[in-house]
Structure 1
Amino acid sequence: MHHQFQEEVRRALTKYALVPVLLLAFLGSLLICFSWHHYIVMRNEASRQTAAEVLTGILTDYEQRADRVAERLADGPQPLASLGAPSPLRTELYAYLYHEVNITHDATQFFLLDRSCRVLFGSRHTLPPTLTPLSETWGIVRRLKEQPTHAQAEFLTRPGAASRDLLVGRAIVQDGALAGYMLFVVPGEYLTHSITSPHLYFLLADDFQNGVLATGGGPFTTRFGKVADVVAAASSKRITYQKDEYYITQQPLPQGCTLYAITPVTDLLLRYLIGAGLLLAIALIMVPIILCSVGQESARRAKAVDELVEAFARAKRGDLSAQLTVRRGSQLEVVTEAYNHMTHSLRALMQQHEAETRATVISEVRQLESQFQPHFLFNTLENIKFMIKLDPDAAMQMIQALSSLLRYSIRTDVRQVTVDEDLAYTHNYLKIQQYRFGSRLRYEEDIARAARCAAIPKLLFQPVLENAIRYGSDDDGNISVRLTVRRDDALLRVTIEDQGKGLGAAKLAEMRALLKSRNASSRHTGLYNVHRRIQLMYGEAYGLAIACPETGGTRVTLTLPAVRKEEMEECSP
């Protein structure tokens, strides 16, 4: 039993001791997940959406400007070709375009071309080298001819530039015929500067997966300018590229473009790895220490409980010489002290009261034995042993109840107490029995207010209740006990009833004969001692009576004198 209990305590303590380590690991994992989601996923998402809005806004602005010029010229009073020479309309359009492209000081160029792609006027007299030679069959011009009512855009490669320039154009239609073109050239540096972020890279690809715009100088395109396959295939995922780790998301933009947001995560993953390694190292250090401490603690607790059980077993055999070692800080400290105090008090009582009346000595000794029979204490401690594993809080409650019960029982300074005081002791006893029997035990009490301050012998209720619980179970093993206290003029009547099987006629006659005798040779010494104590203290007219009602069960009635009227008024609440 010793090894089994020690193993059970060790398992229970191990479970509770390892909880902080597991909680620390869980919190560390939760922190890593939160950090990844907040600093990588959410920041990447927010930055990509912002960059997409900026690029879309720039493209939309220049498309709208080209549309306004086309609409103005479509309704203009003079042919487009004539705007090569000074005129009010030319001056008006030039002022509008000059103002628009210089709002943001982004060095954007504008050009108004005739149908043959000759410059009529613009921010420069000639087209930039990236647009020459320009013909009606060339990229954007061809698309503008095919869709003259819609703005078109594409990216131009400029020698020596890290990013391509954005070309936005719109066809000019007059009298239902194609008359020319309005072009804007937005520098790639301006686009790059507009979306640059200190936390991640951006890569803009056209509909042919050509890398047309990149921030941060990330190596995410091939030597032919194409977006790397591993990058193009990534969407909301982590990839390994050129021995580094990245988190990539993508978003489609107008004109068939795709924006990639690329967050470098190599350093962060390394920090995560270091943190996880530290947590693992802490766990590897703490777990052996915890297991060693748990082993020592379980052995110490098992030894304390075994010593206590052995002491009560010796007390059950009549040996009260054992003294237990009080371990400060132990959950059994109070019980150990109470046991030592109880055995010391019992020995002192047996030595100091030999000279008193034999009936008083027998009554006191039997009263203590009936209230605290070693088998009850032994069973209670056995229950505590297993409750420590199953329900530590309940075990603590049982220990506290047993401690209060022991303290009350060893008080030698009073012989009489009030009904309320003895009930408080009785409730501690019932609490222990409730843990033992669980839902099978049902207890009720009905105490008259006028009777609560009545004086009664100490430890009056518990022996009778113990007898009712021990022998009052029904066929299903359920126990139902009711305690009633009433004051009837000069008498105090206490009734304890159970709903058990009751006593047969022969057994009932035997019990009544026992109460009339002068010694208790039966196992029902508890009832006899209560009856005898009442008669010794108050006279032969009072005592205990037993009956078995026709409805079943057993009824025990105690009759005592009530306190005087002035004493009751003095203590009434």
Structure 2
Amino acid sequence: MSKNVGSFQENIRKTFIRFSIAPVAAIVMAVFVLFAIVWINFMEDSNKSDNAASCNEIKRIMNIYYEMMDDVSDILLPETNDNNSLEIIIDSADAAKVTLPVDEIFSALYNRTAPFGDIGNLIILSGDRKVLFSSKKNTPKFLIAEEYANWGVWKSIKTNEGKTATVLYGKNLCIGKGVYEGNTLKYAICYIVPNEVISGAIVVQDRFVILTDNSGWVYASNTKMMQDAYGQIDSSFYNKTGYVRQSGKLYYAFSNKTDKGLVLYTINDISRSIELIWVMVAIVIIIFIAIALITIRSTSKSSKEYTKDIKKIEDAFEEVQNGNFDVSLDIDSSTEFMVIGNDFNKMLQGLKDQIEQNKELAENAAFSQVKQLESQFNPHFLFNTLDNIRFMAKIDAAAADKMIVSLSGLLRYSIREVREEVTVKEDLDNLQYYLNILQIRFNKRFAYKLDVAEDIMECLIPKLLIQPLLENAVKYGFGTKEKLCVSIRGYQMQEMLVFICEDDGAGIEEKQLKEIRDNLKEDSNTTMHYGLYNIHRRIRLMYKGDYGLDISSVKDKGTIVRLTIPKHI
């Protein structure tokens, strides 16, 4: 399969961008999400806690008033008390008179309301709405007028027989209780709660607070925005806990009912907070874009700086590939590249020395030709190996490092072993470096099998004999195939060593196969393909006899290359 492969420098630049900008973006997003969650939880919890605190205070105050109502009802029964009584004329026409223990009533009133500063208006009426006692001069009309006899406070007193109940009527918070003698309502006790007492209990900063009865009629509030024209809380907030949108604004409302018939609403206007958050998001996005632009610009220079050694190595190997041996690598940026540079220089010096020596051995044409073939072969496979490293560097840095180490091993083997022949075991050990590179590069796409007999391990063969077979199989075997399997076998047959490299790859067209076979018969290479020809030519020059290379192939089935050399130790 063919694919567009970018330069190592470009890949490094993209990697810098990906691993610098992406984590920052992820962290910024995570911070904003965490901030939003914390802010929402804090806002909701503070709302609920303030609401609960105000509700508890209202409950405490109302309990005091309820206890006062019980105290007064206890004083009113029995009906008469000779001490400290007040004669009140109910009806001047019939001069009916009722006496109440005024001092005791005032005492109960003052004892309970003293902490609040205002004693409020305690009113005691007869069952037919006649005022018998009032702590203040004024008596509201809704307590004495005929039309209210079965409405408002009177309805609550008659409905809740003998029980204390809270009624909100005409912006007055009233507490009513009926005192019955049998089934007859003898007294009606009504206490009008001072507005400032309850209002003082619901002072909460930074949010709207509304106190209503169970029907939604507003008694106390620090805003008019959430009320309708009739004095009820807006229907959007009635009995609501959660997020409410009204008039284009977003609010968070929390409602809490008390056991005295009152409902306390605490409401946060979060529209401004959300607008502020969006402004912060916009500012951070602008800053992030600026950082991204700076990063993209700086990574171009950095990637060029960090990959200059790769470029040096690539240029050096291209020069050698083109036949120029007057190059050298001077690298001191990292240990790995320093090893490659030193080994390259040693290898190249070795090749140059061999060429010089071959020139001095003009009388031995065969030996000279072998050396020339080797000097042509070494840079060829080294260049291909470096190309593989470049390909892998963009995928996995650790794998690329392992490939560099393997390449270093190949270079050491190339320059260390000055002998023309090495043992089969030595050549196979060197082959393993190349297999490491192939295995990393192709991963599961490439598989190999080595089956070399143990009894030939100490036999001598030309140095770097087996590796070009494998290299050639990989280079031309893949074609359009997804996977490739290569098998290398070695065994002894009579007085010969036989090595077979077989792959299940793309195979070779018959016409091209014939050209390759014809070229193997020539004394000089007439094509641009060096691998198989060099192997065959070296064997023919080094060993007299019917030895060399034979190739067979079937298109889309695979290729078999067979080598024969004489056995000697």
User: When the two structures are superposed, what TM-score results if normalisation uses the length of structure 1?
Assistant: 0.64
1:202 counterpart residue number: 209
Alignment partner of 1:445: what SS?
Answer: strand
Shift of 1:401: 1.8
Kindly provide the CA deviation profile for residues 263-295 of structure 1, in whole angstroms up to 9, marking residues without a partner as x.
Answer: 476996797578557635644653443243134
| TM alignment of 1:11-22, pairs within 5 A | 14=17, 16-19=19-22, 22=25
SS of the residue corresponding to residue 37 of structure 1 reads helix
Aligned to 2:41: 38
Aligned pair partner of 2:442 in 423, 434, 442: 434
For 2:465 and 2:396, how far apart are their aligned partners in 1? 27
Structure 1 residues 154 and 102, CA gap change in structure 2 (3 angstroms): same
Residues 1:384 and 1:524: Cα distance change in structure 2 (over 3 Å): closer
1:213 and 2:220 correspond: yes
Hey, what's the Cα distance between the residues in 1 that align with 2:47 and 2:455? 78
Aligned amino acid, residue 85 of structure 1: N
Report the equivalent of 1:405.
Answer: 407
Of 525, 547, 562, which aligns to 1:556?
Answer: 562
Q: 1:23 & 1:337 partners in 2: Cα distance?
A: 43
* Partners of 2:127 and 2:185 within 8 A in 1: yes
Alpha-carbon deviation of 1:258? Answer: 5.0
1:380-430 deviation per Cα after TM superposition (whole angstroms, max 9, x unaligned) = 649947x77xxx334774575256325523542235464663243122341
* Counterpart Cα distance in 2 of 1:104 and 1:203: 26
Q: What's 1:568 paired with?
A: none
Establish whether residue 262 from structure 1 lines up as the match of residue 264 from structure 2.
Answer: no
2: CA distance, partners of 1:397 / 1:310? 23
**Distance (whole Å) between structure 2 residues aligned to residue 533 and residue 131 of structure 1:** 129
- Pick closer, same or farther for the CA change 1:47–1:499 going to 2, 3 Å: same
**Aligned partners of 1:500 and 1:554 also within 8 Å:** no
The residue that corresponds to 1:370 in the other structure is 377
Residues 211, 316 of structure 1: alpha-carbon distance in 2 compared, 3 angstrom cutoff: same
For the 8 Å contact 2:153–2:174, the answer to whether it is kept is no
From the superposition, tell whether residues 508 and 382 of structure 1 become closer, same or farther in structure 2 (CA, over 3 Å). closer
Query: 8 Å contact 2:71–2:108 — kept in the other structure?
Result: no
Deviation at 1:546, TM superposition (A): 4.3
Q: How does 1:491-510 map to 2 (within 5 A)?
A: 495-500=500-505
For 1:270 and 1:333, locate their aligned partners in 2 and report how far apart those are by CA, in whole Å.
Answer: 58
CA contact (8 A) 1:426 1:461 kept: no
Q: Which amino acid aligns with 1:154?
A: V
Secondary structure (helix, strand or coil) at the match of 1:393 reads: coil
Kindly indicate whether the alpha-carbon contact (under 8 Å) linking 1:380 and 1:432 is maintained by their aligned counterparts in 2. Answer: no
The 3 A distance-change label for structure 1 pair 230 and 140 is: closer
Give me the identity figure in percent: 17
Q: What CA RMSD, in Å, does the superposition of the two structures yield over aligned residues? A: 6.1
Question: Structure 1: 5+ residue runs without aligned partners?
Answer: 74-78, 158-163, 564-573
Match of 1:373, SS state, is: helix
Question: Which residue matches 1:168?
Answer: 175
Query: Match of 1:236, SS?
Result: strand
Counterpart of 1:85? 81
**Alignment equivalent of 1:293, drawn from 294, 298, 301:** 298
DSSP-derived class of the 2:326 partner? coil
Do 1:486 and 1:492's aligned partners in 2 also have CA atoms closer than 8 Å?
Answer: yes
Deviation track 1:226-272 (CA, whole Å, cap 9, x = no partner) reads 5897996997258899xxx9944142646885533234769967975
The equivalent of 1:152 in structure 2 is 165
C-alpha contact (below 8 Å) 2:65/2:112 kept by paired residues: no
Partner secondary structure for residue 318 of structure 1 = coil
Alignment match, 2:144 = 135
Distance 2:232 2:338 in 1: 76
Cα distance in 1 for partners of 2:134, 2:376 equals: 120
| Residues 17-59 of structure 1, C-alpha deviations (whole Å, 9 max, x = no match) | 54355345434533542343133244335544x3586378569
Paired residue for 2:348? Answer: 343
SS of residue paired to 2:410? helix
1:359–1:147 Cα change, 3 Å: farther
Question: Which residue number in structure 2 is paired with residue 422 of structure 1?
Answer: 430
Q: CA deviation at 1:465?
A: 0.8
Shift of 1:481: 1.6
* Residue identity opposite 2:81 in structure 1: A
Code of the aligned partner of 2:176: G
- TM-score by structure 2 length? 0.64
Q: Distance in 2 between matches of 1:492 and 1:196?
A: 103
Q: Is the 8 A contact 1:542 1:560 kept in 2?
A: no
Contact 1:492–1:562 (8 Å) recurs in 2: no
1:444 corresponds to which of 443, 448, 453: 448
Quick one: distance in 1 between partners of 2:317 and 2:466? Answer: 23
User: What is the DSSP-based 3-state SS (H/G/I as helix, E as strand, rest coil) of the residue aligned with 1:22?
Assistant: helix
Alignment of 1:194-343 (within 5 A): 197=204, 200-206=207-213, 211-214=218-221, 236-237=243-244, 247-251=251-255, 253=257, 258-263=263-268, 272=277, 276=281, 279=284, 282-283=287-288, 285-297=290-302, 309-323=314-328, 326=331, 328=333, 339-340=344-345, 342-343=347-348
Residues 1:398 and 1:353: Cα distance change in structure 2 (over 3 Å): farther
Once the 2 structures are TM-superposed, how far is the Cα of residue 347 of structure 1 from its aligned partner? 2.7
For 1:420 and 1:103, locate their aligned partners in 2 and report how far apart those are by CA, in whole Å. Answer: 106
CA deviations on 1:445-491 (whole Å, 9 max, x unpaired) are 24579689868765443211122223445886753322356799999
